Amino acid sequence: MTASVLATLTLGYRLLWNRRREIAGIELRVDVAPTAAGVDARHLLATLAELWPARAPQLLLSVHHPLLLLDLLVHGRSEGPWIVLTPEAAAEPVLRPRALQAQARGLPVVWPGQLGAAPPPQGRPGLYRLEVHDPIDLLPPGQILLAPEQQAQAAAALDQRDAWAVAGWPVASTLQTLAAAARQPDRTAISRLVRAIDADASWDRLEALLCNDPVLCYRFLQHVNTTAGRQRGEIDTVQRGLQLWGLKHVQAWLLDQLSTASGEADLHPVRGGMAVRASLVEHLLDPGDEEDLRSEVYLCGLYAQLDRLLGEPLATLLGRLPLSQRILQSLLEGTGPYVPALQLAQAIEAGDARGTRTLGESYGYAGEDVNRALLRTLAQLKV
C-alpha cells in the first residue's frame, strides 16, 4: 500500500438504511483530484481492505472518473466493495461490457434501475430514483431507493416494497412530519442503555450508547446538572455525569423516560446520521487520548443541528448546558476552533468534492488526513 493513494482522492459518503432503520451499507463517493495524474485501483482496494473490518457495513464505491472506474472493474474482487454504476457509465460503450464481464466473474456490481424497464442485470440490488409523485409500487422489491425526498416514500419502500435499503434518508421531510416525536428521546436507545448498565458495560460503552441519540444525550446533561450538579459543580461531559450521578440513579431516570419516549423508527436514520457526523468531527480534529477534550469535540458535532430536532433556537438550547466557550463560539458565532472540522464534515456528508477540497486547503488539512479520518469514522460502524 502506498501512502499517496488517498492523497489523490476526495471522498464523501452516503448512509444506506435497511428495513429496521439501521445502517445496511455505506456508499463511498470517490472523486479524483484535478491535479492527480491517475489512481491505481489495486492500491485503492488494498487500502480499503486494510482499513475496513469485516464487522463494518457493506461498502459501495461510487466513482465518476471513467479510468478509475474501468480499473476497478478489472481489478475488483468478489469479496471487495460493491461497484456502483451511474446511468452514464452503465450506457457507456466501453464501460458497460467491462461491467458485465466483471459481474460474470463475481464482482458485485450495482446497476442503475429504470422504472418500467427490465430490471438491472442479475447481481446486487439496483439503484432506483423515484420522483415525489411516483407511486411506490413502481419500485421493484429488493432494490435500493436512491435519495427520496419524502419520509413517506422512504418508509413505504422499506415496509411495503421490501427495498434492500434507502440511500440517503429524507431528513427534512422526516423532521417536518414527526416534529413532536423528534423532541423526545428514542425508546430503543434508552432500552439499549438500560441493558448495557445491567450487563456492567464499560464507561466508554455507556457513553457511546447514550450519545447515539442527540436528544437523550442533551436531556441527560440537562437533568444531571440540576441534580448531581448541585453538589458536584457543573458537569460538562456525559461520562463525568454517569460517574458522579451513579448508575443506579441513571438507570432509574432512564426508565422514567420510557413513558414519553419516541418509538418512531423513521427518526433512527436522522439521529444516527447526526451521531456519525459528530464522530467524523472528532476524527477530523483528532483530540488524541485526552478524554475530556474528545468528549467536548464530539458534543460540539452532535449538537450542531440540535435545533432541527427540538424546534428551538440553538442559542436557547445550548444556554441550558454548561458547555465550553469553544463549543459556544463554534456553534453560535462560527468563530471557534471547531469550525473547520464542522464545515468539512458537512461538505463530506453532502458529497461536495470541490467544497471539501477548498475547505481542506483553506484550513490547512492534507487531503489524505481528511480521507483517513472519514474512513476511520465509517469503519467503526457496525452492522
- Per residue in 208-218, pLDDT (tens digit) is 999 999 999 99
Question: Cα(127)–Cα(164) distance, rounded to whole angstroms?
Answer: 10
What string of H, E and C letters represents the secondary structure of 63-124?
A: ECCHHHHHHHHHHCCCCCCEEECCHHHHHCCCHHHHHHHHHHCCCCEECECCCCCCCCCCCC
The pLDDT of residue 230 is 63
More confident: 124 or 358:
358
Closest CA relative to residue 378, chosen from 279, 292, 305, 271: 279
Please report whether residue 262 resides in a domain: no
271 and 253 in a common domain? no
Residue that terminates a domain, selected from 104, 137, 169? 169
pLDDT at 122 over 80: no
Mark which of 214, 235, 257 sits at the end of a domain: 257
Residue 56 shares a structural domain with residue 154? yes
User: For residue 175, is it within any domain?
Assistant: no
Question: Helix, strand or coil for residue 12?
Answer: strand
Rounded (5°) CA angle 377-382-383:
140
Question: Distance between CA 184 and CA 174 in Å, rounded?
Answer: 14
Q: Which domain holds residue 55?
A: 6-169
Residue 335 placed within a domain: yes
Same domain, 224 and 274: no
Residue 152 contacts residue 137 (beta carbons within 8 Å):
no
Q: What number is the average pLDDT over the span 137-156?
A: 95
End-to-end CA distance of the chain: 27
For 234-276, the pLDDT digits (tens) are 888 999 999 999 999 999 999 999 999 999 999 999 999 999 9
Same domain for 244 and 312, yes or no, is no
Neighbours of 130 (CB within 10 A): 21
* pLDDT band with cut points at 50, 70 and 90 for residue 232: low
- Mean per-residue pLDDT over the chain, rounded: 93
Instruction: Check pLDDT > 90 for residue 38.
Output: no
Given this model, what pLDDT does residue 229 score?
58
pLDDT at 2: 46
Instruction: Give the separation between CA 194 and CA 279, rounded to whole angstroms.
Output: 23
Same domain, yes or no: 29 and 100: yes
pLDDT given for residue 1 in this prediction: 39
Cα 71 off chain centre by: 28
Q: Which residues is 59 bridged to in the sheet? A: 26
Helix %, strand %, coil % for the chain, to 5? 55, 10, 35
Same domain, 20 and 150: yes
Tally of CB atoms within 10 A around 137: 10
**Of 116 and 219, the one with more pLDDT:** 219
- Residue at a domain's end among 106, 136, 169: 169
DSSP character at residue 147: S
Residues 13 and 91 in one domain: yes
Closest C-alpha to 236, from 248, 256, 212, 218: 218
Q: Count other C-beta atoms under 10 Å from residue 46's C-beta.
A: 16
Pick from 214, 187, 201, 195: nearest CA to 309: 214
Please check the confidence at residue 24 and state whether its pLDDT lies above 50. yes
**pLDDT, average across residues 178-183:** 97
Number of folded domains in the chain?
Answer: 3
Of the CA atoms within 13 Å of residue 362, those in its CB half-sphere come to: 11
pLDDT of residue 377: 97
Residues 10 and 149 in one domain: yes
Query: How confident is the model over 347-362, as a mean pLDDT?
Result: 96
Mean pLDDT of 320-349: 96
Residue 17: band (very low, low, confident or very high) from pLDDT cuts 50, 70, 90: very high
- DSSP codes, 190-223: HHHHHHHHHTT--HHHHHHHHHTSHHHHHHHHHH
